[in-house]
Structure 1
Amino acid sequence: MRVFITGASGWIGSAAVDELRTAGHDVLALSRSDASTAALERAGVSVLRGTLDDLDTLRQGAGEADAVLHLANKHDWANPKESDRAERAAVEALGDALVGSGKRFALASGLLRLDSSRPALESDPNPGIGPDAPRGGSENLALDYAARGVQSIALRFAPTVHGIGDHGFISLIVAAALRTGVSGYIGDGTNAWAAVHRGDAARLARLAIEQAPAGARLHAVAEEGVPTRVIAEAIAQRLGIPTASIDPTDAVDHFGFIGRFFGADMTASSEVTQRAYSWTPIGPTLIEDIAAGAYTR
């Protein structure tokens, strides 16, 4: 199968490329830079040059492939509305190009809890609808294409996809600890974050492209919830610094923008996903990666 991937040189995307190629699939990757293009070509990947804003290029890639894996996002935290706009436009361009084809279209999405009394479930609909919703309402937009002959699939990734080289949310928490000399958690630190190792997330992306039916929602979650105080304590032990509770009103000053989220509960179950796709996470846990120095190399 030929798979068109956006975000192929990114944190999850580069692992997904390796996973797909090892399984015998051909990969066509969107690449926006000379450095990414060179690395992808060395890995035996065909390249289309362009960005998320090059909608004609996105349509071309979708038309030339048997399936689409959309992992790219601008992640412009200083201008989230621009990230949301670009994400919605890209999903619409890809979806329109796939109408009536019966091809699989898997896109990266996030985990949103509708019921604070329990972890998020695969059966929970995404509340984000329309261009003003988080990520431009892209999950629901993509799933709407299932009624138009596209096998749309939502890949909901845990808020931390960890491993050596991760520059995501946990790296920002570690950076705050290094900057302030204190490994912090917000309030009592009992709120928890779901987590998954990068390799496990990439394997599930491949399984989605190979197996998932139209309208499926998959949870790339290995650990249902790791308390943020436990995360802070693991960071403190690795760095040899104390832990401390950070008042919610001081969270952004201490952590930066990630302080707006670190005090939230973002837990999720992947029981249905694991059973349906014979996906059993095998990578290190988040705490094991922190202890091994994944964020302090």
Structure 2
Amino acid sequence: MRVFVTGASGWIGSATVDELIAAGHHVVGLARSATSAAALEAKGVEVRRGDLDDLDGIRAGAADAEAVIHLANKHDFNNPAVSASAERAAVQTIGEALAGSGRPFLVASGLVLGVQGRPATEEDESPFHGPDSARGGSENLALSFLDRGVHPVALRFAPTVHGTGDHGFVAELVRVARRTGVAGYIDDGANRWPAVHRSDTARLIRLGLEKAPAGARLHAVAEEGVPARVIAEAIGRAVGVPAASIAADDAPAHFGWIGRFFGIDARASSAGTQELLGWRPEGPTLIEDLDAGAYAHA
């Protein structure tokens, strides 16, 4: 299958590209820099130069593909409106390019759904609608193209997609611990984050492309919820600093932008995804990765 992948050189995208190529798919990757393009070409990827603001290029890449996997995001946490606007525009553009074709359109989404008292499941709809909501309401926008002859699938990634080389949330927490001399958790640290290894995420995306029905919501989750205090204690061991509670009122000053997220309780299940796709997480746990030195680079 000819698959157009945005974010093809990113943390999740690069592993997904490897998984797709190993399965025999022809990958066309969006690359915004010469360095990214060279890395993709070395893997045998057909490169299309551009970025999320190049909507004409994204439209052409989608129209020329048999399937689209949209993983790119600006991730501007200091100005989330910029990220949300770009994300919504890209999803709208891809959806329109695929309208009436029946072709798969897999779109990255998140698992912070505001579900209280239980793990979020694949049956829970995203509460985010419209351009002013988180990620520009891109999941619901993508799924709306089901009524326009597209085969949309939502890829809901755990907040922590971990592994050696990760520069995401956990890496930022490690950097904060190094800078402040404290591996912090908010209040009692009982809130929980789902986690999944990068290799398991890439395999799920490939299976979702090949097997997921239109309109499916897939959960890339291996651990339903790792307590924030346990994460902080593992970071403390890795960095060589003590773990300590940070009052919620002090979290923004201590953690910076990630303080808005680290106190959220966001348990999530992948039972439905595992049953649907026959997917089983096989990679190391988050704490195993931290204890093994996977975040020494951060």
8 Å CA contact 1:9, 1:40 repeated in 2: yes
- The alpha carbon displacement at 1:223 in A equals 0.3
Distance across 2 between alignment mates of 1:125 and 1:78: 27
State yes or no: 1:128 paired with 2:122.
no
Match of 1:103 in 2: 103
User: Which 4+ stretches in 1 moved above 6 angstroms?
Assistant: none
- Pairwise mapping of residues 142-181 of structure 1 onto structure 2 (< 5 A)? 142-181=142-181
- The alpha carbon displacement at 1:256 in A equals 1.1
Match of 1:193 in 2: 193
SS in 2 for 1:4: strand
8 Å CA contact 2:186, 2:246 repeated in 1: yes
8 Å CA contact 1:193, 1:267 repeated in 2: yes
- The alpha carbon displacement at 1:267 in A equals 1.1
Q: Between the two proteins, what is the percent identity of the paired residues?
A: 64
Match of 1:35 in 2: 35
Map Cα deviations across residues 144-166 of structure 1 (whole Å, 9 max, x no partner): 00011100000000000000000
Match of 2:221 in 1: 221
Gaps of 5+ in 1: none
SS in 2 for 1:65: coil
Match of 2:254 in 1: 254
Letter in 2 for 1:256: G
Q: RMSD in angstroms over aligned alpha carbons?
A: 0.8
Letter in 1 for 2:66: D
Distance across 2 between alignment mates of 1:140 and 1:195: 23
Match of 1:85 in 2: 85
8 Å CA contact 2:16, 2:205 repeated in 1: yes
Letter in 2 for 1:291: D
Map Cα deviations across residues 212-253 of structure 1 (whole Å, 9 max, x no partner): 111000000000000000001111122222111001111111
Gaps of 5+ in 2: none
Match of 1:263 in 2: 263
State yes or no: 1:60 paired with 2:60.
yes
8 Å CA contact 1:114, 1:124 repeated in 2: no
State yes or no: 1:46 paired with 2:43.
no
8 Å CA contact 2:114, 2:266 repeated in 1: no
SS in 1 for 2:262: coil
8 Å CA contact 2:236, 2:242 repeated in 1: yes
SS in 2 for 1:89: helix
TM-score, structure 1 normalization: 0.99
SS in 2 for 1:204: helix
Distance across 2 between alignment mates of 1:53 and 1:59: 11
Distance across 2 between alignment mates of 1:68 and 1:178: 39
Distance across 1 between alignment mates of 2:56 and 2:38: 22
SS in 2 for 1:256: helix
State yes or no: 1:72 paired with 2:76.
no
Match of 2:116 in 1: 116
The alignment covers a number of residue pairs equal to: 297
- The alpha carbon displacement at 1:291 in A equals 0.3
